[in-house]
Structure 1
Amino acid sequence: MAGQGGSATPAAGKGGFTVLWLQSGGCGGCSMSLLCADTPDFAALWPDLGIDLLWHPSLSQETGAELIALLDDILAGRRRLDALCVEGAALRGPNGTGRFHLLAGTGRPMADWLRDLAGVARHVVAVGTCATYGGMSATGANPTEACGLQYEGSRAGGLLGAGWRSAAGLPVINIAGCPTHPDWVTQTLAMLAAGELAAGDLDALGRPRFYADQLVHHGCTRNEFYEFKASAEKPGDLGCMMEHQGCKGTQAHADCNTRLWNGQGSCTRGGYACISCTEPGFQNPGHAFDTTPKIAGIPIGLPTDMPKAWFVALASLSKSATPPRVKKNAVADHRVVAPAIRKTTLK
Structure 2
Amino acid sequence: MSTERHRPVETARPTERPDFLELVREREAGAVVDERADAIRAALSTATRGGLDVVWIQGQSCTGCTVSLLQSEYPAIEGVLSEFREQSSFHTTLMSETGTDAMNAISTDPDVLVVEGAIPTEIPRAATLGTDERGKRKPVVDWVIELGERADVVLAVGTCAAYGGLPAAGRHDSRRGEVGTDPTGARGLQFDGEEPGGVFGPDFEAGSGLPVVNVPGCPAHPEHVLLTLATILNGHEPDLDALHRPLPLFGPLVHDDCELREQYEQGEFADDPGDDGCLYEAGCAGVHAYCDDSVRLRNGGTAICRDVGAPCIGCVEPAFWDRFTPFYEKREDRGDAGLDEPSIMRSDDDAPTWEMRAVSAVVACLCVLIAAPALPVAAALSALSRWLGDGEPISWRDSDLTEA
TM range (shorter): 0.7 to 0.9
Question: What is aligned with 1:175?
Answer: 215
**2:67 aligns to what?**
32
Report if the CA contact (8 A) 1:218-1:258 is conserved.
Answer: no
Which is worse superposed, 271-280 or 99-108? Answer: 99-108
**Post-superposition offset of 1:224:** 1.2
Counterpart of 1:285?
A: 323
- Which of the two has greater helix per residue? 2
Superposed, which structure 2 residues align to 1:129-144 within 5 Å? 129-140=159-170, 141-144=181-184
Residue of structure 1 in register with 2:292 after alignment: 255
- CA deviation string 1:81-134 (max 9, x = no partner): 22100000011123xxx2222213442211001100001111000000000000
The equivalent position to 1:217 in structure 2, one of 240, 245, 255, is 255
The one-letter code of the counterpart of 1:197 is E
SS in 1 for 2:282: coil
- Gap change, CA 1:17 and 1:219, over 3 Å in 2: farther
Q: Give the drift of 1:9.
A: 6.0
How many residues align? The count is 294
Question: Hey, what's the Cα distance between the residues in 1 that align with 2:200 and 2:192?
Answer: 11
* CA drift at 1:248: 1.2
| Consecutive unaligned residues in structure 1, runs of 5 or more | 295-299, 322-347
In 2, the alpha carbon distance for the partners of 1:286 and 1:122 equals 34
Distance 2:306 2:221 in 1: 15
CA distance in 1, matches of 2:190, 2:265: 38
Deviation, structure 1 residue 60? 1.0
TM-score (norm 2): 0.67
Larger Rg: 2
Whole-angstrom distance in 2 between the partners of 1:184 and 1:40:
17
1:240 corresponds in structure 2 to: 278
| Contact 2:313-2:324 at 8 Å conserved across structures | no
Change (3 A) 1:233 1:312: closer
Amino acid at match of 2:129: L
Q: Mapping of 1:1-347 within 5 angstroms?
A: 5-8=3-6, 15-39=50-74, 43-46=78-81, 53-71=88-106, 74-75=107-108, 77=109, 81-94=110-123, 98-106=124-132, 107-140=137-170, 141-198=181-238, 201-242=239-280, 244-261=281-298, 262-285=300-323, 287-294=325-332, 300=333, 304-307=337-340, 314=345
Output the CA distance in 1 between the equivalents of 2:335 and 2:75: 35
Inter-partner Cα distance in structure 2 for 1:287 and 1:82: 38
Q: Secondary structure of the residue that 1:254 maps to in structure 2?
A: coil
- Structure 2 CA distance for partners of 1:179 and 1:124, relative to 1, 3 Å: same
User: What TM-score do the two structures reach when normalised by structure 1?
Assistant: 0.77
SS of alignment partner, residue 160 of structure 1 = coil
CA distance in 2, matches of 1:123, 1:250: 32
SS in 2 for 1:103: strand
- The percent of aligned pairs where both chains have the same amino acid is 36
Q: Work out the CA distance in 2 between the residues paired with 1:307 and 1:220.
A: 17
| Distance (whole Å) between structure 2 residues aligned to residue 313 and residue 255 of structure 1 | 24
Q: Is the 8 A contact 2:112 2:155 kept in 1?
A: yes
Residue 287 of structure 1, CA deviation: 4.2
Query: CA deviation digits over 1:272-320, x for unaligned, max 9?
Result: 10011111112003742100035xxxxx267734456xx66849x99x9
1-structure distance, mates of 2:161, 2:77: 21
Contact 1:150 1:158 in 2 (8 A): yes
User: Which sections of structure 2, spanning at least 5 residues, go unmatched?
Assistant: 9-48, 171-180, 357-404
CA distance in 2, matches of 1:69, 1:17: 17
**Contact 1:16/1:52 (8 A) holds in 2:** no
Alignment RMSD, CA only? 2.9
Partners of 1:142 and 1:42 lie apart in 2 by 40
SS for the counterpart of 1:118 is: helix
Q: Is the 2:272–2:328 contact (alpha carbons within 8 Å) kept by the matching residues of 1? A: no
